Amino acid sequence: MKVALVTGAARGIGAATAKALAAEKFAVALLDLDAAGAERVAAEIRAAGNQAHAVACDVGVRASVEAAIASSTAKLGEPSVLVNNAGIGGPFHRIDEVSDDEWDQIVATNLKSVFLFSRALLPKMKVRGYGRIVNIASIQGLLGASRSSTYVATKHGMLGYTKAIAAEWGAFGITCNAICPGYVETAMGVQADKVDAYLENVLKKTPVGRVGQPDEIAALVVYLTGDRSGYINGAALVVDGGITAHVGIT
Amino acid sequence: MSVMRGKVVLITGGTRGLGKAMAQLLAQEGAAVVVTSRKAKAVTKRLKNPFGNIQEMPLEVSDEKSVQKLFGWLEATFSSLDVVVNNAGVGVFKPLTDISLKEWNETIGTNLTGVFLCAREAFRRMKKQGGGRIINIGSIADYMALPLGSAYGASKFGVRGLTQVLNEEGRDLGVRATLISPGATYTEIWKGRKGFSPKDMLSPEDIAEAVLDVARRPLRVRVDEIRILPPKGVL
């Protein structure tokens, strides 16, 4: 059985991705700081007749990453698919309000994590002759945003790192791509049932006139980790309802 | 064309001769192709091929553990296994009285036991996933007597029998087996030998096209056997 490892799998895009991969008959390792949340999703996957294993993991800390990989490998086998999804958005400070700790924490969770998992798993994928890495970035990996400077920097960094992996490891049957979601209905994104000025603004700037759903991101992860996607490598694929295609002035 | 896009194909042998031509054609048609070699290192190697994916894995077809290891790797690496081509084979051509037991055992071990071991693992996987194709490469020696070919002929007639049984056992499971029996085919082993001219013989590409033709068919189509000969017939 093929094994996929998904970080930040307790909720939102990560949980949807874990479920979608399980439906494709992957055994899924669900990593999250919120171990109980990851276990709830894992239990749901198992109830549907598929394999899942939840592990607590602080993705920005090397020892925690290595322990989580060891635990999931012992339980399910070696992953040939890695989805770097874990990330934090806020707090939303102006640059002159950002503390060193805040910068370090966002960089560790959003960007260092990608390095830690890639470094640990790429050599194993090379031995297998096959691997798929999908990094969940953001449209803020392509565009700037106010009061999100650290987040914007990490997501831009993620896209650069995606291309570097693609260039360095493509020869070994490994591809690495990024997905740049727009506004998705998650705890971290927007909540469609809470219509406020922020959501109104998002909808005004989104040509399709709605927010995205986690399963719409998961569907692309499934495609990118499938057998037909071998020629897509180093891409940043935008799934944002047209936000970044739209100047937004007229 | 990409008629094999999204399909995963295992070809035992496949690094030279007939198997190499099959691997190239199927990869060019979009399949992810795995070829095997006794000499390959423990880790997989991607073969140079500008048109598609071919990777090489170590395999000794007559060794149960080696076969199980390869199929375990396939299971953990690809979400399906659509086609298995049992192509690896050896030949010894001597009068019956000159064939040693060792030569007999080697021929039967690779040509018949090897097909059994790979077909068994393939059948298990295909049963689980709801079907697949097993294509066994026979020879004119699987339907007619060639002098000097006692061990070879016995192994190939054995493959003929095994293929027919596979089809019956696989009937309701979507597992389809085909025996492809090529006549004289010009490969590097015949190069420079007297009496073997490429003009009178099939090319490896001719056999590869027959494999592709079977491999691409939907599983409702059962192709029991294909005999291919050069116009001259049996050399």
Contact A100, A199 (CB under 8 A): no
Q: Which range has the worst mean pLDDT, A5-14, A162-171, B64-73, B179-188?
A: B179-188
Q: Which residue of B has its CA nearest to A126?
A: B44
- Per DSSP (E only), the strands in chain A are 3-7, 27-32, 52-56, 81-84, 131-136, 174-181, 236-239
Residues of B in contact with A77 (CB under 8 A): 76
- Pick from A97-106, B39-48, B212-221: least confident: B39-48
Which one from B123, B152, B157, B186 is the annotated catalytic residue? B152
The Cα B49–Cα A15 span in angstroms is 38
Predicted confidence (pLDDT) at residue B49 exceeds the cutoff of 90: no
Residues A94-127: pLDDT tens digits?
Answer: 999 999 999 999 999 999 999 999 999 999 999 9
Give the per-residue pLDDT at A123.
97
Our CA dihedral for B56, B60, B64, B67, rounded to 10 degrees, sits at 10
Q: Does A223 touch chain B (CB under 8 A)?
A: no
pLDDT tens per residue across span A39-48: 999 999 999 9
Q: What is the ipTM of this complex?
A: 0.76
Kindly indicate the confidence band of residue B137, based on its pLDDT and cuts at 50, 70 and 90.
very high
Name the residue facing B79 among A78, A127, A227 (closest C-beta). Answer: A227
Asked if residue A244 has pLDDT above 80, the reply is yes
Question: What chain B residue is nearest to A172 in terms of C-alpha separation?
Answer: B46
Mean pLDDT computed over every residue of chain A:
95
Categorize the per-residue pLDDT at B7 as very low, low, confident or very high, splitting at 50, 70 and 90.
very high
With b for 16 or more beta-carbon neighbours within 10 A and e for fewer, the B201-222 pattern comes to: bbebebbbebbbebbbeebeee
* Overall average pLDDT of the B94-115 stretch: 97
3-state secondary structure of B62: coil
What mean pLDDT comes out for the span A26-45?
A: 98
CA–CA dist B137, B10 (Å, integer): 13
Q: Is the separation of the CB atoms in A45 and A18 below 8 Å?
A: yes
SS3 B100: coil
pTM above 0.95, yes or no: no
Closest chain A residue to B72, measured at CA: A1
Q: What's the rounded Cα separation, in Å, for the pair A224 and A232?
A: 8
What tokens were used for A42?
């894992």
Q: Give how far A227 is from chain B: nearest CA, Å.
A: 5
Cross-chain residue pair B46–A80, CB shorter than 8 Å? no
Catalytic, A223? Answer: no
For chain B, give percent helix, strand, coil, nearest 5: 45, 20, 40
For the beta carbon of residue A40, count every other beta carbon within 10 angstroms: 15
The owner of tokens 């592709």 is B212
Mean pLDDT of the B126-141 span: 97
Tell me if residue B103 falls in helix, strand or coil. Answer: helix
**Partner B contacted by A75 (CB < 8 A):** no
Residue B44 pLDDT exceeds 80: no
User: How many angstroms separate the CA of residue A166 from the nearest CA in chain B?
Assistant: 16
10 Å CB burial of residue A36 (0-12, 13-18, 19+) is exposed
pLDDT in the model for residue B50: 74
Cα dihedral A165/A184/A111/A44 (nearest 10): -90
**φ/ψ (deg, to 5) at B158:** -60, -45
Instruction: Judge contact between A165 and A211, C-beta under 8 A.
Output: no
Question: Do B55 and A80 count as a contact with CB atoms less than 8 A apart?
Answer: no
The shortest C-alpha distance from A128 to chain B (Å) reads: 6
